[in-house]
């Protein structure tokens, strides 16, 4: 060991002192993860609010960590939660076991289960890391109705065969409703009346 060896080591330390900091300012300014990041799961809905989950339990079978528990039940005419014959009555994901592999997403036949970009799930109590169905269900968007209710968009075939088309239609209606609300709000602030088109389509 020569006399210059410690000087060389401190040279690396001093050289980094004048370089820009590359660490993230978390949690004050958290970085947005990639779009396909495997974060918290979400149980999606159809445009009318019915659940996409049909309680088939394929996600639970595909999970290599045995982190998912699904209990299915039958839909009835009086209480319908999904367009299919069955729905997921009890749904749990144990994030103490989940490894974020995404195999459950690939196994889902109805695209009910997806993964969001949310990653802040740390907790100091084990029980709170077992997410139940009400914690995983997607929120109700404008135009959706809280189940149980009848199928509003046609029969069962329409829900699954025309799913993307129904989603586009629902998104278009939501955007139109938001635009009308913004126009009405602006007119109310200005104290002017909003013209309403007649049912015959005349201006």
Q: What is the pTM of this model?
A: 0.71
Structural domains present in the chain: 38-168 (3.30.70.3270)
Which three-class secondary structure state does DSSP give residue 161?
helix
Order of strands, sheet of 86-94, starting from the edge strand that comes earlier in the sequence: 68-74, 86-94, 130-132
Q: Give the residue-averaged pLDDT of 178-202.
A: 54
In tens, the pLDDT along 34-91 reads 888 999 999 999 989 999 999 999 999 999 999 999 999 999 989 999 998 999 999 9
* Percent of the chain topping pLDDT 70: 80
| Position 113 confidence tier, pLDDT thresholds 50, 70, 90 | very high
Per-residue pLDDT band at 157 (split at 50, 70, 90): confident
pLDDT given for residue 145 in this prediction: 93
Contact (CB, 8 A) for 84 and 54: yes
Cis (ω within 30 of 0) for the bond into 165?
no
Which of 149, 4, 164 has its CA nearest to residue 75?
149
The pLDDT, as a whole number, for residue 75 is 95
pLDDT number for residue 11 = 80
């Amino acid at each position: 060991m020569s006399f210059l060896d410690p000087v060389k080591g401190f040279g690396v330390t001093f050289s980094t002192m004048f370089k820009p900091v590359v660490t993230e300012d978390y949690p004050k300014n958290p970085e947005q993860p990639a779009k396909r990041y495997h974060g918290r799961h979400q149980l999606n809905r159809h445009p009318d609010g019915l659940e996409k989950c049909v309680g088939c339990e394929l996600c639970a079978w595909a999970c290599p960590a045995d982190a998912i528990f699904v209990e299915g039940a039958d839909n009835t005419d009086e209480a319908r939660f999904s367009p299919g014959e069955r729905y997921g009555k009890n749904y749990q994901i144990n994030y103490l076991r989940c490894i974020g592999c995404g195999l459950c997403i690939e196994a889902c036949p109805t695209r009910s289960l997806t993964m969001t970009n949310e990653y802040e799930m740390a907790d100091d109590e084990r029980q709170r890391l077992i997410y139940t169905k009400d914690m995983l269900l997607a929120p109700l968007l404008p135009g959706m109705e809280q189940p149980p209710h009848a199928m509003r968009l046609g029969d069962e075939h329409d829900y699954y065969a025309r799913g993307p088309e129904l989603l586009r239609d629902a998104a278009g209606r939501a955007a139109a409703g938001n635009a009308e609300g913004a126009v009405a709000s602006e007119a109310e602030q200005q104290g002017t009346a909003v013209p309403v088109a007649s049912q015959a389509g005349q201006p």
